[in-house]
Protein backbone atom coordinates (compact mmCIF):
# COMPACT_ATOMS: atom_id res chain seq x y z
CA UNK A 1 0.00 0.00 0.00
CA UNK A 2 1.31 3.39 -0.89
CA UNK A 3 1.54 6.44 1.32
CA UNK A 4 -1.61 7.80 -0.17
CA UNK A 5 -3.49 5.64 2.28
CA UNK A 6 -2.77 8.13 4.95
CA UNK A 7 -4.99 10.62 3.20
CA UNK A 8 -8.09 8.98 4.56
CA UNK A 9 -10.73 6.47 3.68
CA UNK A 10 -12.11 8.45 0.79
CA UNK A 11 -8.83 9.41 -0.81
CA UNK A 12 -7.77 8.21 -4.20
CA UNK A 13 -9.52 7.32 -7.40
CA UNK A 14 -9.52 3.56 -7.19
CA UNK A 15 -12.98 3.18 -8.71
CA UNK A 16 -12.11 5.08 -11.85
CA UNK A 17 -10.78 3.23 -14.86
CA UNK A 18 -11.62 -0.17 -13.40
CA UNK A 19 -11.34 -2.97 -15.98
CA UNK A 20 -13.38 -6.04 -14.93
CA UNK A 21 -11.32 -9.18 -14.53
CA UNK A 22 -12.60 -11.77 -17.05
CA UNK A 23 -12.05 -14.55 -14.49
CA UNK A 24 -13.75 -12.73 -11.62
CA UNK A 25 -16.80 -15.03 -11.28
CA UNK A 26 -14.76 -18.20 -11.43
CA UNK A 27 -12.27 -16.72 -8.97
CA UNK A 28 -15.16 -15.83 -6.67
CA UNK A 29 -16.11 -19.50 -6.37
CA UNK A 30 -12.56 -20.34 -5.30
CA UNK A 31 -12.77 -17.83 -2.45
CA UNK A 32 -16.29 -18.97 -1.50
CA UNK A 33 -15.27 -22.63 -1.28
CA UNK A 34 -12.31 -21.70 0.92
CA UNK A 35 -14.50 -19.46 3.07
CA UNK A 36 -17.13 -22.17 3.38
CA UNK A 37 -14.56 -24.68 4.67
CA UNK A 38 -13.11 -22.27 7.23
CA UNK A 39 -16.49 -21.18 8.62
CA UNK A 40 -17.96 -24.68 8.51
CA UNK A 41 -15.13 -25.87 10.74
CA UNK A 42 -16.39 -23.55 13.50
CA UNK A 43 -19.54 -25.67 13.99
CA UNK A 44 -19.03 -28.99 12.21
CA UNK A 45 -16.76 -30.39 14.93
CA UNK A 46 -19.25 -29.72 17.74
CA UNK A 47 -21.38 -32.79 16.90
CA UNK A 48 -18.27 -35.00 16.90
CA UNK A 49 -16.97 -34.03 20.36
CA UNK A 50 -18.44 -37.08 22.17
CA UNK A 51 -16.94 -39.39 19.51
CA UNK A 52 -13.53 -37.65 19.72
CA UNK A 53 -13.62 -37.88 23.51
CA UNK A 54 -14.26 -41.64 23.39
CA UNK A 55 -11.79 -42.26 20.58
CA UNK A 56 -8.88 -40.42 22.24
CA UNK A 57 -9.83 -41.22 25.83
CA UNK A 58 -9.82 -37.61 26.97
CA UNK A 59 -11.83 -35.40 29.34
CA UNK A 60 -14.73 -33.09 28.34
CA UNK A 61 -12.65 -30.00 29.24
CA UNK A 62 -9.78 -31.13 27.02
CA UNK A 63 -11.95 -32.04 24.04
CA UNK A 64 -13.80 -28.72 24.27
CA UNK A 65 -10.56 -27.04 23.14
CA UNK A 66 -11.00 -28.70 19.75
CA UNK A 67 -13.85 -26.22 19.19
CA UNK A 68 -12.87 -23.26 21.36
CA UNK A 69 -9.18 -23.27 20.36
CA UNK A 70 -10.12 -22.97 16.69
CA UNK A 71 -12.54 -20.13 17.39
CA UNK A 72 -9.97 -18.30 19.51
CA UNK A 73 -7.06 -18.41 17.05
CA UNK A 74 -9.45 -17.63 14.17
CA UNK A 75 -10.58 -14.39 15.84
CA UNK A 76 -7.06 -13.34 16.89
CA UNK A 77 -5.76 -13.32 13.32
CA UNK A 78 -8.50 -11.45 11.47
CA UNK A 79 -7.61 -7.74 11.66
CA UNK A 80 -3.86 -8.29 11.41
CA UNK A 81 -4.34 -10.59 8.42
CA UNK A 82 -6.60 -8.08 6.72
CA UNK A 83 -4.07 -5.28 7.17
CA UNK A 84 -1.22 -7.46 5.88
CA UNK A 85 -3.32 -8.29 2.82
CA UNK A 86 -3.90 -4.59 2.19
CA UNK A 87 -0.23 -3.71 2.66
CA UNK A 88 1.38 -6.67 0.92
CA UNK A 89 -0.45 -9.09 -1.39
CA UNK A 90 -3.98 -10.44 -0.79
CA UNK A 91 -3.62 -13.14 -3.39
CA UNK A 92 -0.41 -14.52 -1.92
CA UNK A 93 -1.66 -14.40 1.68
CA UNK A 94 -4.92 -16.08 0.67
CA UNK A 95 -3.15 -18.93 -1.13
CA UNK A 96 -0.58 -19.42 1.65
CA UNK A 97 -3.32 -19.44 4.28
CA UNK A 98 -5.47 -21.84 2.25
CA UNK A 99 -2.48 -24.18 1.82
CA UNK A 100 -1.78 -24.05 5.57
CA UNK A 101 -5.46 -24.66 6.37
CA UNK A 102 -5.43 -27.75 4.15
CA UNK A 103 -2.19 -29.03 5.69
CA UNK A 104 -3.39 -28.58 9.26
CA UNK A 105 -6.75 -30.18 8.41
CA UNK A 106 -4.78 -33.31 7.49
CA UNK A 107 -2.80 -32.97 10.73
CA UNK A 108 -6.05 -32.80 12.73
CA UNK A 109 -7.36 -35.94 11.09
CA UNK A 110 -4.13 -37.84 11.73
CA UNK A 111 -3.59 -36.61 15.32
CA UNK A 112 -2.80 -39.56 17.64
CA UNK A 113 -3.72 -37.79 20.88
CA UNK A 114 -5.67 -34.82 22.19
CA UNK A 115 -2.59 -32.61 22.65
CA UNK A 116 -1.58 -32.80 19.00
CA UNK A 117 -5.20 -32.47 17.87
CA UNK A 118 -5.66 -29.24 19.84
CA UNK A 119 -2.32 -27.87 18.56
CA UNK A 120 -3.32 -28.65 14.97
CA UNK A 121 -6.73 -27.01 15.53
CA UNK A 122 -5.09 -23.85 16.87
CA UNK A 123 -2.88 -23.71 13.77
CA UNK A 124 -5.86 -24.47 11.52
CA UNK A 125 -7.85 -21.63 13.11
CA UNK A 126 -4.94 -19.23 12.64
CA UNK A 127 -4.76 -20.15 8.96
CA UNK A 128 -8.54 -19.66 8.64
CA UNK A 129 -8.21 -16.24 10.29
CA UNK A 130 -5.58 -15.19 7.76
CA UNK A 131 -7.73 -16.44 4.89
CA UNK A 132 -11.10 -14.96 5.88
CA UNK A 133 -10.49 -11.19 5.44
CA UNK A 134 -8.89 -11.80 2.05
CA UNK A 135 -12.22 -13.27 0.88
CA UNK A 136 -14.19 -10.05 1.33
CA UNK A 137 -11.23 -7.93 0.19
CA UNK A 138 -10.89 -9.89 -3.06
CA UNK A 139 -14.60 -9.35 -3.72
CA UNK A 140 -14.07 -5.61 -3.20
CA UNK A 141 -11.12 -5.77 -5.57
CA UNK A 142 -12.73 -7.82 -8.36
CA UNK A 143 -16.27 -6.36 -8.46
CA UNK A 144 -17.88 -2.94 -8.72
CA UNK A 145 -21.41 -1.54 -8.62
CA UNK A 146 -24.35 -3.94 -8.87
CA UNK A 147 -22.00 -6.88 -9.49
CA UNK A 148 -20.46 -6.31 -6.08
CA UNK A 149 -23.89 -6.65 -4.48
CA UNK A 150 -24.45 -9.95 -6.29
CA UNK A 151 -21.00 -11.21 -5.27
CA UNK A 152 -21.60 -10.29 -1.66
CA UNK A 153 -24.95 -12.05 -1.95
CA UNK A 154 -23.11 -15.29 -2.66
CA UNK A 155 -20.65 -14.47 0.12
CA UNK A 156 -23.49 -13.87 2.58
CA UNK A 157 -25.11 -17.14 1.55
CA UNK A 158 -21.81 -18.88 2.24
CA UNK A 159 -21.60 -17.36 5.74
CA UNK A 160 -25.18 -18.31 6.57
CA UNK A 161 -25.10 -21.82 5.12
CA UNK A 162 -21.73 -22.75 6.59
CA UNK A 163 -22.85 -21.82 10.10
CA UNK A 164 -26.22 -23.58 9.86
CA UNK A 165 -25.02 -26.60 7.88
CA UNK A 166 -22.21 -27.57 10.25
CA UNK A 167 -24.29 -29.89 12.46
CA UNK A 168 -25.88 -31.61 9.44
CA UNK A 169 -22.56 -32.06 7.62
CA UNK A 170 -20.83 -33.36 10.74
CA UNK A 171 -23.66 -35.76 11.48
CA UNK A 172 -23.67 -37.06 7.90
CA UNK A 173 -19.91 -37.67 7.89
CA UNK A 174 -20.11 -39.50 11.22
CA UNK A 175 -23.00 -41.63 9.95
CA UNK A 176 -21.08 -42.60 6.80
CA UNK A 177 -17.66 -43.08 8.44
CA UNK A 178 -19.16 -45.15 11.21
CA UNK A 179 -16.30 -46.44 13.34
CA UNK A 180 -14.75 -44.90 16.44
CA UNK A 181 -12.28 -43.05 14.22
CA UNK A 182 -14.97 -41.73 11.89
CA UNK A 183 -14.51 -38.23 13.35
CA UNK A 184 -11.17 -38.02 11.52
CA UNK A 185 -12.99 -37.69 8.19
CA UNK A 186 -14.51 -34.41 9.36
CA UNK A 187 -10.98 -33.03 8.92
CA UNK A 188 -9.75 -35.22 6.07
CA UNK A 189 -12.62 -34.09 3.82
CA UNK A 190 -11.02 -30.62 3.67
CA UNK A 191 -7.83 -31.95 2.10
CA UNK A 192 -8.89 -32.76 -1.50
CA UNK A 193 -11.15 -29.70 -1.60
CA UNK A 194 -8.36 -27.47 -0.31
CA UNK A 195 -5.79 -28.82 -2.77
CA UNK A 196 -8.16 -28.24 -5.69
CA UNK A 197 -8.96 -24.72 -4.46
CA UNK A 198 -5.25 -23.85 -4.23
CA UNK A 199 -4.61 -25.06 -7.78
CA UNK A 200 -7.58 -23.12 -9.14
CA UNK A 201 -6.64 -20.05 -7.10
CA UNK A 202 -3.15 -20.01 -8.59
CA UNK A 203 -4.74 -19.83 -12.01
CA UNK A 204 -7.76 -17.59 -11.46
CA UNK A 205 -7.12 -15.12 -8.64
CA UNK A 206 -6.07 -11.67 -9.89
CA UNK A 207 -2.61 -10.25 -9.39
CA UNK A 208 -2.26 -6.63 -8.31
CA UNK A 209 0.80 -4.49 -8.91
CA UNK A 210 1.67 -2.58 -5.74
CA UNK A 211 3.38 0.79 -5.80
CA UNK A 212 4.73 0.42 -2.29
CA UNK A 213 5.05 -1.98 0.58
CA UNK A 214 3.34 -0.04 3.35
CA UNK A 215 4.35 -0.30 6.99
CA UNK A 216 2.58 -2.51 9.50
CA UNK A 217 1.82 -1.32 13.04
CA UNK A 218 3.51 -4.05 15.10
CA UNK A 219 2.74 -2.51 18.54
CA UNK A 220 -0.87 -2.20 17.39
CA UNK A 221 -0.89 -5.89 16.45
CA UNK A 222 0.33 -6.77 19.96
CA UNK A 223 -2.22 -4.54 21.73
CA UNK A 224 -5.13 -5.73 19.61
CA UNK A 225 -4.13 -9.39 19.84
CA UNK A 226 -3.77 -9.30 23.63
CA UNK A 227 -7.03 -7.34 23.97
CA UNK A 228 -9.05 -9.78 21.87
CA UNK A 229 -7.41 -12.72 23.66
CA UNK A 230 -8.30 -11.29 27.07
CA UNK A 231 -11.94 -10.80 26.06
CA UNK A 232 -12.40 -14.12 24.27
CA UNK A 233 -10.44 -16.50 26.52
CA UNK A 234 -12.97 -16.50 29.41
CA UNK A 235 -15.75 -17.01 26.84
CA UNK A 236 -14.19 -20.01 25.13
CA UNK A 237 -13.48 -21.45 28.61
CA UNK A 238 -17.06 -20.91 29.77
CA UNK A 239 -17.87 -24.64 29.88
CA UNK A 240 -14.90 -25.17 32.21
CA UNK A 241 -15.89 -22.35 34.58
CA UNK A 242 -13.90 -19.69 32.75
CA UNK A 243 -16.39 -16.90 33.34
CA UNK A 244 -16.14 -17.35 37.11
CA UNK A 245 -12.36 -17.86 37.28
CA UNK A 246 -11.23 -15.47 34.56
CA UNK A 247 -13.72 -12.59 34.80
CA UNK A 248 -10.84 -10.22 35.58
CA UNK A 249 -9.58 -10.61 32.01
CA UNK A 250 -12.58 -8.62 30.69
CA UNK A 251 -11.46 -5.27 32.19
CA UNK A 252 -7.85 -6.05 31.21
CA UNK A 253 -9.02 -6.63 27.64
CA UNK A 254 -11.06 -3.43 27.68
CA UNK A 255 -8.01 -1.40 28.77
CA UNK A 256 -5.84 -2.98 26.06
CA UNK A 257 -8.44 -2.26 23.38
CA UNK A 258 -8.73 1.37 24.54
CA UNK A 259 -4.94 1.69 24.32
CA UNK A 260 -5.06 0.15 20.84
CA UNK A 261 -7.74 2.64 19.75
CA UNK A 262 -5.78 5.62 21.09
CA UNK A 263 -2.69 4.43 19.25
CA UNK A 264 -4.62 4.20 15.97
CA UNK A 265 -5.87 7.78 16.37
CA UNK A 266 -2.32 9.01 17.08
CA UNK A 267 -0.99 7.24 13.99
CA UNK A 268 -3.66 8.87 11.83
CA UNK A 269 -2.90 12.30 13.32
CA UNK A 270 0.80 11.84 12.46
CA UNK A 271 0.01 10.72 8.92
CA UNK A 272 1.04 7.14 9.65
CA UNK A 273 -0.57 3.87 8.58
CA UNK A 274 -2.70 2.37 11.37
CA UNK A 275 -3.53 -1.30 11.69
CA UNK A 276 -7.24 -0.39 11.68
CA UNK A 277 -8.06 3.14 10.52
CA UNK A 278 -10.59 4.58 13.04
CA UNK A 279 -12.02 6.78 10.27
CA UNK A 280 -13.67 3.64 8.92
CA UNK A 281 -16.13 3.96 11.80
CA UNK A 282 -16.56 7.73 11.67
CA UNK A 283 -16.52 8.68 7.97
CA UNK A 284 -17.35 5.57 5.92
CA UNK A 285 -21.12 5.56 5.62
CA UNK A 286 -22.73 2.44 7.07
CA UNK A 287 -19.59 0.75 8.38
CA UNK A 288 -20.05 1.34 12.13
CA UNK A 289 -23.76 0.47 12.04
CA UNK A 290 -23.16 -2.62 9.93
CA UNK A 291 -20.46 -3.86 12.29
CA UNK A 292 -22.80 -3.38 15.24
CA UNK A 293 -25.71 -5.11 13.52
CA UNK A 294 -23.50 -8.08 12.62
CA UNK A 295 -22.01 -8.44 16.11
CA UNK A 296 -25.39 -8.35 17.86
CA UNK A 297 -26.97 -10.72 15.35
CA UNK A 298 -24.19 -13.29 15.72
CA UNK A 299 -24.66 -13.37 19.50
CA UNK A 300 -28.01 -15.07 18.93
CA UNK A 301 -27.38 -16.67 15.55
CA UNK A 302 -24.29 -18.67 16.52
CA UNK A 303 -25.49 -19.88 19.91
CA UNK A 304 -28.85 -21.26 18.82
CA UNK A 305 -27.27 -24.16 16.89
CA UNK A 306 -25.57 -25.51 19.99
CA UNK A 307 -28.82 -25.16 21.93
CA UNK A 308 -30.76 -27.00 19.22
CA UNK A 309 -28.11 -29.76 19.21
CA UNK A 310 -28.42 -30.14 22.98
CA UNK A 311 -32.21 -30.18 22.81
CA UNK A 312 -32.54 -32.68 19.96
CA UNK A 313 -29.71 -35.02 20.95
CA UNK A 314 -30.07 -35.05 24.74
CA UNK A 315 -33.70 -34.04 25.09
CA UNK A 316 -35.25 -36.00 22.22
CA UNK A 317 -32.50 -38.66 21.85
CA UNK A 318 -31.79 -37.81 18.20
CA UNK A 319 -28.62 -38.99 16.51
CA UNK A 320 -26.18 -36.29 15.32
CA UNK A 321 -27.47 -36.77 11.77
CA UNK A 322 -31.12 -36.49 12.82
CA UNK A 323 -30.27 -33.40 14.85
CA UNK A 324 -28.61 -31.81 11.82
CA UNK A 325 -31.54 -32.67 9.58
CA UNK A 326 -33.93 -31.05 12.06
CA UNK A 327 -32.33 -27.62 11.52
CA UNK A 328 -31.76 -28.02 7.78
CA UNK A 329 -34.85 -25.94 6.86
CA UNK A 330 -33.07 -22.87 8.21
CA UNK A 331 -30.00 -23.51 6.04
CA UNK A 332 -32.15 -24.07 2.94
CA UNK A 333 -34.14 -20.88 3.47
CA UNK A 334 -30.98 -18.89 4.22
CA UNK A 335 -29.24 -20.08 1.05
CA UNK A 336 -32.17 -19.21 -1.20
CA UNK A 337 -32.74 -15.79 0.34
CA UNK A 338 -29.11 -14.67 0.54
CA UNK A 339 -28.49 -14.95 -3.20
CA UNK A 340 -31.73 -13.08 -3.95
CA UNK A 341 -30.89 -10.43 -1.36
CA UNK A 342 -27.60 -9.71 -3.11
CA UNK A 343 -29.56 -8.64 -6.19
CA UNK A 344 -31.97 -6.45 -4.21
CA UNK A 345 -29.65 -4.65 -1.82
CA UNK A 346 -28.92 -1.73 -4.16
CA UNK A 347 -32.63 -1.09 -4.50
CA UNK A 348 -33.88 -1.56 -0.93
CA UNK A 349 -30.76 -1.06 1.21
CA UNK A 350 -31.12 -1.34 4.98
CA UNK A 351 -34.83 -2.18 4.67
CA UNK A 352 -33.79 -5.72 3.68
CA UNK A 353 -31.95 -6.12 6.98
CA UNK A 354 -34.91 -4.77 8.94
CA UNK A 355 -37.32 -7.19 7.25
CA UNK A 356 -34.86 -10.07 7.57
CA UNK A 357 -34.27 -9.55 11.29
CA UNK A 358 -38.01 -9.30 11.87
CA UNK A 359 -38.53 -12.62 10.07
CA UNK A 360 -35.74 -14.31 12.06
CA UNK A 361 -37.18 -13.10 15.36
CA UNK A 362 -40.73 -14.22 14.48
CA UNK A 363 -39.53 -17.52 12.98
CA UNK A 364 -37.28 -18.52 15.88
CA UNK A 365 -39.83 -17.36 18.42
CA UNK A 366 -42.48 -19.51 16.74
CA UNK A 367 -40.02 -22.42 16.58
CA UNK A 368 -39.37 -22.17 20.32
CA UNK A 369 -43.08 -22.18 21.12
CA UNK A 370 -43.79 -25.13 18.83
CA UNK A 371 -40.96 -27.20 20.27
CA UNK A 372 -42.28 -26.39 23.73
CA UNK A 373 -45.90 -27.31 22.96
CA UNK A 374 -45.80 -30.19 20.43
CA UNK A 375 -45.11 -33.81 21.43
CA UNK A 376 -41.58 -35.20 21.12
CA UNK A 377 -42.16 -37.37 18.06
CA UNK A 378 -43.72 -34.56 16.02
CA UNK A 379 -41.88 -31.49 17.36
CA UNK A 380 -39.21 -31.19 14.66
CA UNK A 381 -41.76 -31.65 11.85
CA UNK A 382 -44.03 -29.00 13.33
CA UNK A 383 -41.15 -26.55 13.70
CA UNK A 384 -39.75 -27.03 10.17
CA UNK A 385 -41.88 -24.31 8.45
CA UNK A 386 -41.04 -21.77 11.15
CA UNK A 387 -37.33 -22.62 10.87
CA UNK A 388 -37.53 -22.24 7.09
CA UNK A 389 -39.13 -18.80 7.48
CA UNK A 390 -36.41 -17.83 9.98
CA UNK A 391 -33.80 -19.02 7.48
CA UNK A 392 -35.25 -16.81 4.76
CA UNK A 393 -35.01 -13.92 7.17
CA UNK A 394 -31.42 -14.85 8.00
CA UNK A 395 -30.53 -14.75 4.31
CA UNK A 396 -31.83 -11.18 4.18
CA UNK A 397 -29.69 -10.21 7.19
CA UNK A 398 -26.17 -11.50 6.59
CA UNK A 399 -25.78 -10.85 2.86
CA UNK A 400 -27.20 -7.28 2.70
CA UNK A 401 -25.46 -6.29 5.93
CA UNK A 402 -22.06 -7.39 4.62
CA UNK A 403 -22.69 -5.56 1.34
CA UNK A 404 -23.82 -2.31 2.97
CA UNK A 405 -21.06 -2.42 5.57
CA UNK A 406 -18.22 -2.90 3.09
CA UNK A 407 -19.41 -1.41 -0.19
CA UNK A 408 -18.12 2.11 0.51
CA UNK A 409 -14.83 0.97 2.01
CA UNK A 410 -11.95 1.85 -0.35
CA UNK A 411 -10.41 -1.23 -1.93
CA UNK A 412 -6.99 -0.45 -0.45
CA UNK A 413 -8.51 -0.78 3.06
CA UNK A 414 -10.83 -3.70 2.30
CA UNK A 415 -8.80 -6.35 4.09
CA UNK A 416 -8.56 -4.55 7.43
CA UNK A 417 -12.21 -3.49 7.22
CA UNK A 418 -13.35 -7.04 6.47
CA UNK A 419 -11.14 -8.39 9.25
CA UNK A 420 -12.61 -5.96 11.79
CA UNK A 421 -16.15 -6.79 10.68
CA UNK A 422 -15.52 -10.51 11.07
CA UNK A 423 -13.75 -9.99 14.42
CA UNK A 424 -16.95 -8.41 15.72
CA UNK A 425 -18.92 -11.36 14.40
CA UNK A 426 -16.50 -13.83 16.02
CA UNK A 427 -16.75 -11.97 19.35
CA UNK A 428 -20.54 -12.05 19.06
CA UNK A 429 -20.42 -15.74 18.23
CA UNK A 430 -18.16 -16.40 21.24
CA UNK A 431 -20.59 -14.60 23.55
CA UNK A 432 -23.55 -16.51 22.08
CA UNK A 433 -21.94 -19.95 22.17
CA UNK A 434 -20.88 -19.37 25.78
CA UNK A 435 -24.07 -17.76 27.08
CA UNK A 436 -26.89 -19.69 25.41
CA UNK A 437 -25.80 -23.26 26.29
CA UNK A 438 -24.97 -21.94 29.78
CA UNK A 439 -28.51 -20.64 30.16
CA UNK A 440 -29.88 -23.91 28.78
CA UNK A 441 -27.96 -25.96 31.38
CA UNK A 442 -28.83 -23.52 34.19
CA UNK A 443 -32.57 -23.76 33.56
CA UNK A 444 -32.35 -27.51 32.97
CA UNK A 445 -30.62 -27.96 36.33
CA UNK A 446 -33.34 -25.98 38.12
CA UNK A 447 -36.36 -27.47 36.34
CA UNK A 448 -35.14 -30.78 34.84
CA UNK A 449 -37.33 -29.87 31.86
CA UNK A 450 -35.50 -29.58 28.54
CA UNK A 451 -38.37 -27.79 26.79
CA UNK A 452 -38.33 -24.98 29.34
CA UNK A 453 -34.52 -24.79 29.05
CA UNK A 454 -34.82 -24.47 25.26
CA UNK A 455 -37.44 -21.73 25.56
CA UNK A 456 -35.25 -19.75 28.00
CA UNK A 457 -32.09 -20.01 25.86
CA UNK A 458 -33.85 -19.07 22.63
CA UNK A 459 -35.54 -16.18 24.45
CA UNK A 460 -32.12 -14.74 25.32
CA UNK A 461 -30.97 -15.23 21.71
CA UNK A 462 -33.98 -13.23 20.55
CA UNK A 463 -33.00 -10.38 22.88
CA UNK A 464 -29.68 -10.03 21.03
CA UNK A 465 -31.44 -10.17 17.67
CA UNK A 466 -33.95 -7.57 18.81
CA UNK A 467 -31.10 -5.23 19.75
CA UNK A 468 -29.66 -5.79 16.27
CA UNK A 469 -33.08 -4.98 14.79
CA UNK A 470 -33.30 -1.73 16.78
CA UNK A 471 -29.92 -0.62 15.41
CA UNK A 472 -30.93 -1.55 11.85
CA UNK A 473 -34.24 0.35 12.16
CA UNK A 474 -32.39 3.42 13.40
CA UNK A 475 -30.09 3.32 10.39
CA UNK A 476 -32.98 2.73 7.99
CA UNK A 477 -34.88 5.73 9.38
CA UNK A 478 -31.74 7.85 9.02
CA UNK A 479 -31.40 6.73 5.41
CA UNK A 480 -35.00 7.77 4.76
CA UNK A 481 -34.29 11.14 6.34
CA UNK A 482 -31.22 11.58 4.13
CA UNK A 483 -33.27 10.74 1.04
CA UNK A 484 -35.95 13.25 2.04
CA UNK A 485 -33.28 15.92 2.56
CA UNK A 486 -31.79 15.11 -0.82
CA UNK A 487 -35.16 15.58 -2.52
CA UNK A 488 -35.63 18.94 -0.80
CA UNK A 489 -32.10 20.30 -1.29
CA UNK A 490 -30.24 18.13 -3.81
CA UNK A 491 -27.40 20.58 -4.47
CA UNK A 492 -26.66 21.16 -0.77
CA UNK A 493 -26.74 17.44 0.08
CA UNK A 494 -24.59 16.49 -2.90
CA UNK A 495 -21.86 18.77 -1.58
CA UNK A 496 -22.12 17.38 1.97
CA UNK A 497 -19.61 14.52 2.45
CA UNK A 498 -21.63 13.04 5.30
CA UNK A 499 -24.42 12.18 2.85
CA UNK A 500 -22.33 11.30 -0.17
CA UNK A 501 -22.05 7.67 -1.23
CA UNK A 502 -19.36 5.89 -3.17
CA UNK A 503 -20.09 2.74 -5.10
pLDDT tens digits for range 228-240 = 888 888 877 766 6
Given a cut of 90, is residue 218 above it in pLDDT?
Answer: no
Are 359 and 439 in the same domain?
yes
Give me the pLDDT at residue 206, please. 86
Distant-in-sequence contacts of 470-474, Cβ < 8 A, 24+ apart = 471/289, 471/292, 471/293, 471/296, 472/289, 472/293, 472/350, 472/353, 472/354, 472/357, 472/401, 473/354, 474/289
pLDDT-derived band at 372, boundaries 50, 70, 90: confident
Q: Are 190 and 206 in contact (CB under 8 A)?
A: no
Are 380 and 414 in the same domain?
yes
In a domain, 53, yes or no: yes
Are 261 and 312 in the same domain?
no
Are 169 and 258 in the same domain?
no
pLDDT tens digits for range 168-183 = 788 788 888 876 788 8
Q: What is the mean pLDDT of the chain?
A: 82
Tell which residue, 271, 268, 270, 289, has the closest CA to residue 279.
268
Are 357 and 433 in the same domain?
yes
Give me the pLDDT at residue 2, please. 39
Are 454 and 426 in the same domain?
yes
CATH of the domain at 123: 1.20.1250.20
DSSP-based three-state secondary structure for 113 = coil
pLDDT tens digits for range 7-66 = 445 444 444 455 677 888 999 999 999 888 888 887 788 778 778 888 888 887 788 788
Are 243 and 120 in the same domain?
no
CA geometry: angle 105, 87, 29, nearest 5 deg: 45
Are 286 and 380 in the same domain?
yes
Are 397 and 443 in the same domain?
yes
Are 48 and 133 in the same domain?
yes
**Containing structural domain, residue 329:** 22-206+275-486
Are 243 and 194 in the same domain?
no
In a domain, 56, yes or no: yes
Domain count for the chain, please give it. 2
pLDDT tens digits for range 83-121 = 888 778 889 999 999 999 999 999 999 999 999 999 999
Give me the pLDDT at residue 6, please. 41
Give me the pLDDT at residue 210, please. 57
Give me the pLDDT at residue 487, please. 62
This prediction has a pTM of 0.77
In a domain, 196, yes or no: yes
Are 352 and 432 in the same domain?
yes
pLDDT-derived band at 466, boundaries 50, 70, 90: very high
Amino acid sequence: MSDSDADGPHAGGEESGHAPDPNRWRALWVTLVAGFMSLLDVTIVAVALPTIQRGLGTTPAQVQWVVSGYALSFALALVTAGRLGDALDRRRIFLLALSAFTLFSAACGAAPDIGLLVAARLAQGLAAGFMAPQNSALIQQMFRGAERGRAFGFFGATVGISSAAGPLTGGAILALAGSADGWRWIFFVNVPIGVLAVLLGLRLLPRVERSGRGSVDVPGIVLLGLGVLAVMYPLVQADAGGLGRLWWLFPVGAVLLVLFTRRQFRLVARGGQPLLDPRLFSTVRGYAVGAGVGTLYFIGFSGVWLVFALFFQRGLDFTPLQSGLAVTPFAVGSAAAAVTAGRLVDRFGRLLTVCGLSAVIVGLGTTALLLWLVSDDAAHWAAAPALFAAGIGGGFVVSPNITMTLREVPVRMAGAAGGALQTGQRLGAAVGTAALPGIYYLVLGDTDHYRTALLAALGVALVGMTASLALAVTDWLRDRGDEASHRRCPDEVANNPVHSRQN
